[in-house]
Chain A
Amino acid sequence: MKILIGILREILGLFVEDLGYSIVIGLWVGFVAAFLSRGQVSLSWRGPVLFLGVVLVLLENVTRSLRRGKVQSVETRCENRTKTS
């Protein structure tokens, strides 16, 4: 049972690692399906708009990861200083 749960967790992990990132991707696809498909954007532009949104989601996430990385490294440095003092 433990192994089965482990395997299922790994399968979920194939698609979801950073939950916020996966949710934003899902929301963008949902938005495109709900609004772009209704005809507000010309037919030939719908695919490129979907793609551009995906690129923006990626760039936003890696930038956020850099900031998060910085905060973590500052916290680690502070912890180390506290330990040495």
Chain B
Amino acid sequence: MHLWAHYAPTVLASFLAALVEFVEALTIVLAVGLTRGWRSSLLGAAAGVILLALLVACFGSALKAIPLQSLQLVVGILLLLFGMRWLRKAILRSAGIIGLHDEEAAYARETGRLQSQGQTRPAFDKLGFLTSFKATIIEGLEVVFIVIAVGSTSATLLPAAIGAAAAGLGVIILGVALRAPLSQVPENTLKFTVGLILTCFGVFWIGEGLSFPWPGADWALLLMFVVLFGVSRLGVRWLGRRNVVSR
């Protein structure tokens, strides 16, 4: 039971967060492939993956040199900022205050932008390569950050990496099979869940970094998740009602 409490949140957080990011990257790589050619699109994505792997190799070993408590504090603050950003946005989207992210609209926007740059398809298309490369780097960096952040401070880097890799593999398989943006993925629900998990992780690691003893040790994470989930759902209901009244 203790092992479950230790590993499950890490694997779940990295899987769900990576799923959101891979879906967003796939949308752009698909748009580039269909408008500028698959060669430049896939080369750009591959170059992005190689650069990310190099970054992980460099930073992964550098992290070992940082004292654990300082690492917990810094990673905790970054996780808290990241998680709270996603959670805030997910609450506002669920309450209808801001619009939902639409993967099909993002795909159409990206395709339109690339088509407006001209229709030529040389053997190597620089614009297609750079667009695909940039998307892979940006979305991939978020995955790398989450894997390192949730894994490095609790010596669960491998389970976190396995969670992210499973998400990546799933998205690639679905992308190849469908050759269309994965618009059916409930992105806001995923962001809501990941925002909750990362916020709890962030608070937990800040506490550890400041030497605060958590009541119930690792189980404090679960309790924080339940409380934050309840408060967030109530917040969505309350905001949703006030939003409707104000219209």
| Interface residues, chain A, with chain B CB atoms under 8 Å away | 3, 6-7, 10-11, 14-18, 21-22, 25-26, 29, 32-33, 36-37, 43-44, 46-48, 50-51, 54-55, 57-59, 61-63, 65-66, 69-70, 73
A6 touches B213 (CB 8 A): no
A50 touches B91 (CB 8 A): no
A3 touches B210 (CB 8 A): no
Tell me the count of chain B residues lying within 8 A, CB to CB, of chain A. Answer: 45
Contact of B214 among A47, A54, A69 (CB under 8 A): A47
Contact of B85 among A6, A17, A47, A50 (CB under 8 A): A17
Asked if B231 lies at the interface with its beta carbon under 8 angstroms from chain A, I say yes
Per-position 1/0 for B192-228, Cβ under 8 A of A: 0000000100011011001111110000100010011
Asked if B77 lies at the interface with its beta carbon under 8 angstroms from chain A, I say yes
B97 touches A65 (CB 8 A): yes
Asked if B7 lies at the interface with its beta carbon under 8 angstroms from chain A, I say no
Output the least CB separation between B223 and chain A (Å). 9
Interface of chain B residues 43 through 91 with chain A (CB within 8 A): 77-78, 80-82, 84-85, 87-89, 91
A15 touches B85 (CB 8 A): yes
Q: Secondary structure of the A side of the interface?
A: helix
Hey, which chain A residues are within 8 Å of B77, CB to CB? Answer: 26, 29
Binds A, one of B112-120, B135-143, B153-161, B168-176: B135-143
Closest to A21 in B: B88
A61 touches B88 (CB 8 A): yes
| Interface residues, chain B, with chain A CB atoms under 8 Å away | 77-78, 80-82, 84-85, 87-89, 91-92, 95, 97-98, 130, 134, 137-138, 141-142, 145, 199, 203-204, 206-207, 210-215, 220, 224, 227-228, 231-232, 235, 239, 242-243, 246-247
How far is B204's CA from A21's CA once the two chains are assembled, in angstroms? 20
How far is B205's CA from A85's CA once the two chains are assembled, in angstroms? 57
Contact of B98 among A44, A55, A69 (CB under 8 A): A69
Contact of B215 among A6, A47, A69 (CB under 8 A): A47
Given A6-B134, A11-B141, A14-B142: A51 and B224 interface contact (C-beta under 8 Å)? yes
How far is B138's CA from A58's CA once the two chains are assembled, in angstroms? 26
B134 touches A7 (CB 8 A): yes
Most buried by B among A7, A15, A25, A62: A62
A sample of 30 inter-chain contacts (CB < 8 A) reads A6-B134, A15-B78, A18-B85, A21-B84, A21-B85, A25-B81, A26-B77, A26-B81, A29-B80, A37-B210, A46-B210, A47-B204, A47-B207, A47-B213, A50-B207, A50-B212, A51-B224, A51-B227, A54-B199, A55-B227, A55-B228, A58-B91, A58-B199, A62-B235, A62-B239, A66-B95, A66-B239, A69-B97, A70-B246, A73-B247
Contact of B91 among A11, A47, A51, A62 (CB under 8 A): A62
How far is B83's CA from A14's CA once the two chains are assembled, in angstroms? 9
